[in-house]
Structure 1
Amino acid sequence: MKKYFIRYKPFLLFLGTFFFTYIVLTVLYQGYLNSFGENKLDTITRMVGENTNQLLQFFGVNFTIEDNQSHSFIKLIYNQKYVARIIEGCNAISVIILFVSFVVSFSGKLKPTLLFIFGGSLFIYVLNVIRIALLCMLIFHFPNQKQILHGVLFPLFIYGVVFILWVIWVRNFSKYASKNIK
């Protein structure tokens, strides 16, 4: 049994660190969400809606957002047409938690790890705002493609970016990074 553990120690440490970090961050995030009560929109989701509105307004797009008082979502209105809504799951925090858990499980030195987590999380947040803005415009122009846009194309985009960030982290900054790459 000891030989087995020693042989697979790096993999088991990776799994343990990943799941521990993921569970801790998820529990903390759930505590944050529970502090808002039922049918209340959390601050992060509201901020994503505001940032999406600001981005589209910056480009002169006819776009507004509206709070829904009876439910916890924000209506996205493009050219005076209600095209989509932002709910808590649209704020990319679950994706950021997944990203952070992976980086921590392949952590390197403290300063580069923290900087990569901060920069990567900010990058994911900004891409998510852009994703929501593009999704609104595409749903308006291609309403019959809503399922493929929301369910396939845009998740593929955001998770693809996270995967690329992970590869960059492991190859260049983690404790497993090859020092001979030129």
Structure 2
Amino acid sequence: MTYAVLTLLYQYYLSQYDVAKNENDRFTEVVASQTQKTIIFFGHSSEIQPHESEPSYKLFVNQKYVARVVEGCNAVSVMILFVAFVLAFKGKLITTMIFKLSGCLLIHLLNIIRIALLSIALFYYPQHEHILHGVIFPLVIYGVVFLLWIIWVNKFSVYAKTTSTR
């Protein structure tokens, strides 16, 4: 139920932006901007530009167009899935709130680093786009979410408390 409600709320948020006019949502814009700054932190020049023909941002590394940052890159759907799972395995209210917020922040930070490293890798190894974008980098973000779930269920959820007394 939580997943459905959060997804509907997110879809409502996205509906405020006109795809026909190539409008990007604010969170995707923040992700693109923070990714650009991270690439610069890693020692490369970078810039972002709104895409002319679709709702996305063009991401440049060392003046080379290497990637598009689209709404699906902002990891909000991953955060929704993470939060829904945590709520499905209840814990104490304050612990749940802290874990959800900390987890979402960690997912966001790792996502920015992931996109930055992916973009730099695509600058040097464009021929490996499929494996980089389709396998290695999704494995990182989903792997971390899976580990967070394991930590939650085994350390903080009500389920962890009932199984530890056996």
Question: For the superposition of Structure 1 and Structure 2, which TM-score range results when normalised by the shorter chain?
Answer: over 0.9
Q: What is the aligned partner in structure 1 of residue 100 from structure 2? A: 117
1:169 aligns with 2:164: no
1:62 to 14, 25, 45: 45
The CA distance in 1 between the partners of 2:155 and 2:12, in whole Å, is: 34
2:13 to 15, 32, 43: 32
1:88 to 64, 68, 71: 71
Residue 139 (structure 1) shift:
0.9
Residue 137 (structure 1) shift:
0.7
Residue 40 (structure 1) shift:
0.8
1:70 counterpart letter in structure 2: S
The CA distance in 2 between the partners of 1:142 and 1:58, in whole Å, is: 20
Residue 71 (structure 1) shift:
1.6
1:128 aligns to what SS in structure 2? helix
The CA distance in 2 between the partners of 1:178 and 1:107, in whole Å, is: 11
**Any unmatched runs of 5+ in structure 2?**
none
Q: What is the aligned partner in structure 2 of residue 10 from structure 1? A: none
| Cα offsets for 1:88-114 (capped at 9, x unmatched) | 000000100010000000011111001
1:154 counterpart letter in structure 2: F
Give the alignment's Cα RMSD to 1 decimal: 1.3
Q: What is the aligned partner in structure 2 of residue 144 from structure 1? A: 127
Aligned residue-pair number: 162
1:44 aligns with 2:27: yes
Structure 1-normalised TM-score?
Answer: 0.85
Residue 37 (structure 1) shift:
1.8
1:98 aligns with 2:81: yes
The CA distance in 1 between the partners of 2:124 and 2:70, in whole Å, is: 22
The CA distance in 1 between the partners of 2:13 and 2:131, in whole Å, is: 31
| Cα offsets for 1:144-167 (capped at 9, x unmatched) | 110111011111111000000000
**Any unmatched runs of 5+ in structure 1?**
1-19
Contact 2:39 2:120 in 1 (8 A): no
Structure 2-normalised TM-score?
Answer: 0.93
The CA distance in 2 between the partners of 1:103 and 1:59, in whole Å, is: 33
Identity within the alignment, %: 52
* 1:130-141 mapped onto 2 (5 Å cutoff): 130-141=113-124
The CA distance in 1 between the partners of 2:7 and 2:52, in whole Å, is: 26
Q: Which has the larger radius of gyration?
A: 1
The CA distance in 2 between the partners of 1:44 and 1:36, in whole Å, is: 12
Contact 2:28 2:71 in 1 (8 A): yes
Residue 53 (structure 1) shift:
1.0
